[in-house]
Amino acid sequence: MKRLILLVLIGLLLFPALFASAQDDFTPPLIVRLLGSDVLYSVNSDTVEALDFCQPEEDVYNGFPIEVSPDGTRFAFLATTTLPGEQAGMNNGAFNADNLYLCNTQDETLTQITTQPEGATAGTTVEDSIYTVYGMPAWSPDGIQIAWAQVNMPVGTTQLVVYDLEAGTSDVLYEYAEPSAAFVVPNVYWSAGGLALADVVYTTPERTGEDQRAILVYRANGEDVVETTEFAAGQVNGGWVLYEGEYHLFGQDAEGVGALYNPASGEFVRYEGVVEYYSLLAPETSLGLVNLPTESVGLFQWAVRGEGFTTPLGIEGNQYGFTLSPDGQQVVYVTFASYPDGGQAFLLTDPTDLTSAQPIDALNELNVGTPVYVHWAPLAQRIVNQ
Share of the chain above pLDDT 90, in %: 58
Q: Does residue 317 have a pLDDT over 70?
A: no
Quick: pLDDT tens for 198-243.
Answer: 999 988 888 877 788 899 999 999 999 999 999 877 899 899 999 9
Pairing, β 267-269 against β 274-279 = unpaired
- Is the pLDDT assigned to residue 91 strictly greater than 60? no
Q: What is the pLDDT of residue 13?
A: 37
Within 10 Å of residue 152's Cβ, how many Cβ atoms? 15
Q: Are 339 and 357 in contact (CB under 8 A)?
A: no
Asked if residue 244 has pLDDT above 50, the reply is: yes
- What is 236-270 written as a DSSP string? EEEEEEEETTEEEEEEE-TTS-EEEEETTTTEEE-
Q: pLDDT tens, 63-72?
A: 888 999 999 9
Select, from the ranges 76-85, 91-100, 330-339, the one with the highest average predicted confidence (pLDDT). Answer: 76-85
Mean pLDDT on 309-337: 84
Q: Is it the case that residue 280 has pLDDT exceeding 80?
A: yes
Average pLDDT, rounded, for the chain: 85
Beta bridge partners of 30: 43
Q: How many residues does the chain have?
A: 386
pLDDT band at 338 (very low <50, low <70, confident <90, very high): low
Which pLDDT value is given to residue 180? 86
> What gap in Å lies between CA 211 and CA 202, rounded to an integer?
6
| From 23-37, 251-265, 312-326, the region with the lowest mean pLDDT | 312-326
Across residues 323-345, what is the average pLDDT? Answer: 82
Q: Is the pLDDT of residue 284 over 50?
A: yes
Q: For the segment 144-164, what is each residue's pLDDT rounded down to a tens digit?
A: 999 999 999 888 899 999 999
pLDDT band at 297 (very low <50, low <70, confident <90, very high): low
Q: Which CA distances in Å does 326 have to 6, 108, 167, 272?
A: 40, 19, 28, 28
Distance CA 321, CA 336 (A): 8
Nearest CA to 23 out of 83, 87, 59, 71 is that of: 71
- Tens-place pLDDT, residues 22-77: 346 788 999 999 887 889 999 987 789 999 999 999 899 988 889 999 999 999 99
Return the bridge partners of 229, or none.
Answer: 216
Predicted confidence band at 7 (pLDDT cuts at 50, 70, 90)? very low
Q: Give me the residues paired with residue 322 across strands.
A: 333
Q: Is the peptide bond before 326 cis (omega within 30 degrees of 0)?
A: no
Q: What is the pLDDT of residue 339?
A: 54
Which residues are within 8 A (CB) of 345 and not within 5 positions of it... i.e. 6 or more apart?
32, 332, 333, 334, 359, 360, 363, 371, 374
Angle at CA of residue 239, ends 233 and 242, nearest 5°: 105
Helices H / strands E in the chain, number of each: 3, 31
pLDDT score recorded for residue 15: 33
